[in-house]
Amino acid sequence: MKISLLHIAEPWLARLPPERRLLAVQFLRFVVIGTMGFGWDTGVVYATAPALGPYYAGIVSYLVAGTMNWLLNRIWTYRHVPHGAMHRQLAAFLLANSVGLVLNRGAYFTLIATVPLCHDHLVIPVAVGGLCGMFVNFYLSRRLVFR
**Tens digits of per-residue pLDDT, 114-127?**
999 999 999 999 99
Checking 45-50 for CB contacts under 8 A at 24+ apart, the result is 45/122, 45/123, 45/126, 46/122, 46/123, 49/122
Report d(CA 109, CA 142) in Å as an integer: 27
Query: Residue 74 gets which letter from DSSP?
Result: I
- Which whole number is the average pLDDT over 32-60? 96
Q: Which residue has the higher pLDDT, 83 or 64?
A: 64
pTM here is 0.86
